[in-house]
Structure 1
Amino acid sequence: MQGRYGWMMVAMLFIAGAVSFLDRAALSVVAPLILRDLDLTASSLGVIFSAFFIGYSALCFLGGIAADRYGPRRVLLYAMVFWSLFCGLTAATTTFASLLVVRVLFGMAEGPFLSNANKLIGNWIPVSRQAMAISIAQSGTTLGGAIAGPIVGALALAYGWRVSFVVIAGAGFVWVIGWQLLGRSAPTDSSKVAEPETHDRPPIAEEGTPGTLVSYLREPAVLAIGFAFFGFGYLLYFFLSWFPSYLTMERHLSIKDMSVVSTIPWLMGFIGYLLGGAASDYVLKVTGRAVYARKIVLVVCLLAAAVCVAIAGYADSVWSAAALMGTSILFLYMSANSYWALILNMIPKEKVGAVGGYVHMFGNFAGIAAPTVTGYIVQKTGVFNSAFALAGGVALLGSVCIAVFVQGQPPREGVPMQERAA
């Protein structure tokens, strides 16, 4: 019964992820309308995109610490309440300054989400299924990104861009009611869910000798995961913030056509999330080495994503650009579960929230950098080619960091393969 309840928690996280990216992607979809309505330049719009991640990054680490201290149920409840509120308040902004403030506060409210979701999965789901659980829970974000274009685009064209933010904020408040009724931080009897720790966890500190939080944060492997997450985030937030505008500004699509074309990469990302989780857990089953399984999937997929996005900037048609970007997002999201699964497999449970929030903070520094840097590149050059190439280069460096600094442990002596991979 508790096993089924744990997967219901995963389903609730899936819905929350969809709402979070529906809220977050809305600004990108209506950016051309806001650009004209508020009289913004490309560089000032880039600053607005980055403002979200200033607040988001600030609360990633603190949200993870709160997960360890207060439990993910309570933190997720408050996070959804506040991010839905500030999403709705976007409709009330009339100047660059007011939009900037709302986006920072909106980002702060969303910051704790993924570290708390990871903590919740670690509490409810066995090690052998954690990568798949993470993929299912977080694949909701790609669904939210995919439906943002048609939904927000249709609402904005029919009723104005302000109404679209009010409507989608309501979805968050509906989720809050469901979470208040059903959400739980962990099973009452964790022994009914937990499985024996026969995998290579935790390699950073031996069982029974937990280190301080600072000692984990300084580990080269943790810092490498953080930088790789930065590479993941740079590519993702370049796409999230600027790909819709690229389609309208450089490829000259209408808002209506852009809202359709921009869904293609998101749908590929949804598939990638599920494929990545299945691949990671399969490699774990075959090898019995959790860290190795997460590492190999991350390195291969992040590298493939980097190559595809760099080529996409030089595509000769809008459809080839969308196809290459979709392939890049497919591989990018195939790697997405691995950052979080590595933390679950390397770090003692009582520090998972804080270390996860720390790594997530690194990843979202890219959310500050990518939109602003891209805005300045576009304003100075008038084209997007260099911005695509830069996104690919940063992701490539992240893949190299994981390959070099994250070292999996060998299978334990005397433990049958099927027991190690249970």
Structure 2
Amino acid sequence: MKKTNFRWFMAVLIFLITFMSYMDRVNLSVATPTIMQEFGFTKVDMGFLQTAFFVGYALMQIPGGMMAEYFGQRISSTVAVTWWSVFTALTACASNFTSFAIIRALFGLGEGPIFPAMNNFIYRWFNRAEKATASSFMLSGAFVGPVFGPAVTVGLMLAFGWRSVFVIFGVAGLVLALAWWFLAKNDPRQSPFVNEAEADHIENGMVIADAKAPKEIAPWGCFISSTQFWAIGLQYFITDYIMYVFLAWLPLYLMEAQGFSLAKMGIAASFPWAALCVVTFFTGYVSDKLIAAGVSKHKARTFFGATGLMLSGAALYMAAVAASPSMNVMWLTISLGSLGFTFNASWAASMDIGGKFCGTVSGWMNFWGNIGGVVAPVVTAWIATHYGWQAAILVTAFSAVLGVVCWVAVKPDKEIVIKR
């Protein structure tokens, strides 16, 4: 029987959902100059509004992963996309700092479960030699969002005002939630679009849990005592810290420090995110090919993870000391693009070391990543306000060293030992 390939259609749907999730995030940073002018907010105020999102988002990482394991990816993802789309639209109704902060925090709670749940879906729906490539769809969707986000958001703002942006993307998110509910299944064998040959291919070499077996809760005692568990979380704290400096402040940085107009900023801000998307796809494909050729997961994932952070930090340093705006954008593009090596390695490694509890492990990893998201906007705003943008960029660049050290301890070729 010729196998169907419906799993790759679902990979495209995952791409669209994570694309929307990051479009919804980047919209606020692009609208920041207009919102600051209308409401009289300072850079520190806007930093706290970004942090409000990340507080809610970080708090739901671990519960989101556990819910995906216990209730299934279908319902947890549908609820998450619906929730955050509603609060995206409600952002247009905010009228002061307090209402902005409350709406952004609730928006963050809705987005929290989506990446752990999607990672759990990939673990169950893709062959072991396809997981890094499938992760690339999830991550690249997220990173394509900021590629188009600045230009699309600026266009909508100039045509209809900043509030229209949040309403339009909120409605689009609800459409994707409906599509996921009808097409996604917790088990590929339950899907009418997956034939037996495709299901056999997916499950080749995979240990499938008995559907009638009692639901298991992640063994937190074993996880907390694992060096791997802490290492993958801490390296992701650094990785996301660097990325969220770009997400929160790149548009304003290009306008204030490099002298770009609003229209030119919308174009320039897309280059680093485009590079990140391309490198993420490339890494997933090459990583799966290396492992299929017999290279150990430890070598493949660790090499990409550590190398990405080293290149990102070095390029960010060069951006800070660049002599012209064009050179600055080039080095920023190389810096954020290099993180594609690390992002792909991180999510693939969370499946490698987490196994059937990869939702919990990836939730833990993304929790620490988004603690970086909580810290990055405010710390960067404070440093930029008191010491200038160059100092803020240099501090971000040197943080990469800690992440490189952590990668040595991740050891993706070994699942975390579960003691019964």
TM-score (norm 1): 0.90
Residue 408 of structure 1 and its aligned partner are, at CA, apart by 5.3
CA, structure 1 residues 2+165, in 2 after alignment: closer, same or farther (shift >3 Å)? Answer: farther
Counterpart of 1:51 in structure 2 is: 52
Within a 5 Å distance, the mapping from 1:315-326 to structure 2 comes to 315-326=322-333
Aligned to 2:133: 132
Is 1:217–1:355's contact at 8 Å kept on the other side of the alignment?
no
Q: Report Cα offsets for 1:244-287 as digits up to 9, x if no partner.
A: 00011112222111111111111111101111112211321233
Deviation at 1:288, TM superposition (A): 4.0
Q: Tell me the residue number matched to 2:384.
A: 378
Residue in 2 aligned with 1:65? 66
User: Within the alignment, does 1:357 sit opposite 2:363 as a pair?
Assistant: yes
Q: Judge conservation of contact 1:291–1:345 (CA < 8 Å) in 2.
A: no
Cα 1:71–1:64 change in 2 (3 A) is same
Select the residue among 263, 266, 276 that pairs with 1:259.
Answer: 266
**Cα pair 1:63 1:75 within 8 Å, conserved:** yes
Given candidates 246, 249, 255, the residue that maps to 1:248 is 255
1:271 aligns to 2:283 (yes or no): no
SS of match in other structure, 1:127: coil
The reply on whether 1:398 has 2:403 as its aligned counterpart is yes
Describe how 1:176-215 pairs up with structure 2 within 5 A.
Answer: 176-188=177-189, 191-196=200-205, 212-215=219-222
Distance change >3 Å, CA 211–CA 84, structure 1 → 2: closer
Q: Secondary structure at the match of 2:258?
A: coil
1:235: which partner in 2? 242
2:306 is matched with which residue? 299
The aligned residue for residue 407 of structure 1 is: 411
Partner in structure 2 of residue 336 of structure 1:
343
Cα distance between partner residues in 2 of 1:253 and 1:51: 28
User: Residues 3 and 355 (structure 1 numbering): CA distance in 2 closer, same or farther, change over 3 Å?
Assistant: farther
* 2:245 partner amino acid: F
Sort the Cα spacing of 1:309 and 1:3 in 2 relative to 1 into closer, same or farther, 3 A.
Answer: farther
Cα 1:3–1:308 shift into 2, 3 Å: farther
Indicate conservation of the 8 Å contact 1:131/1:278, yes or no: yes
Partner secondary structure for residue 259 of structure 2? coil
Shift of the alpha carbon at 1:180? Answer: 2.0
Aligned to 2:291: 284
Q: For residue 360 of structure 1, what is the amino acid of its counterpart? A: N
Aligned length: 396
- Aligned amino acid, residue 336 of structure 1: F
Mapped to 2, the partners of 1:409 and 1:24 lie a distance apart of: 34
- Secondary structure of residue in 2 paired with 1:390: helix
* Partner SS for 2:260: coil
Find runs of 4+ consecutive structure 1 residues off by over 4 angstroms: 189-192
- Is the 8 Å Cα contact of residues 237 and 366 (structure 1) preserved in structure 2? yes
Q: Tell me if the contact between 2:218 and 2:360 (Cα under 8 Å) persists in the aligned partners.
A: no
- Give the deviation of 1:290 after TM superposition: 2.1
User: Which 10-residue stretch deviates more, 293-302 or 371-380?
Assistant: 293-302
Paired amino acid for 1:244: P
With 283-292 and 265-274 compared, the bigger mean Cα shift is at 283-292
Gaps of 5+ in 1: 199-209, 411-422
Q: Deviations over 1:323-378 (max 9, x none)?
A: 111111111012211111112112231x1111110111011100000000011111
Aligned partner of 1:366 in structure 2 is 372
3-state SS, counterpart of residue 189 of structure 2: coil
Counterpart in the other structure of 1:327: 334
- State the AA in 2 paired with 1:35: M
Distance in 2 separating the partners of 1:365 and 1:149: 24
Amino acid at match of 2:411: Q
Name the CA shift for 1:268/1:408 in 2 (closer, same or farther; >3 Å): closer
Indicate conservation of the 8 Å contact 2:57/2:110, yes or no.
yes
Q: Does 1:348 align with 2:355?
A: yes
Whole-angstrom CA distance in 1 between matches of 2:51 and 2:283: 28
Residue in 1 that maps onto 2:195: none
- For residue 214 of structure 1, report the CA deviation from its aligned partner: 2.7
Change (3 A) 1:409 1:41: closer
Deviates more, 1:125-134 or 1:215-224: 215-224
Q: What percentage of residue pairs aligned between the two structures are identical?
A: 28
Q: Secondary structure at the match of 1:335?
A: helix
Aligned to 1:416: none
Are 1:21 and 2:27 counterparts?
no
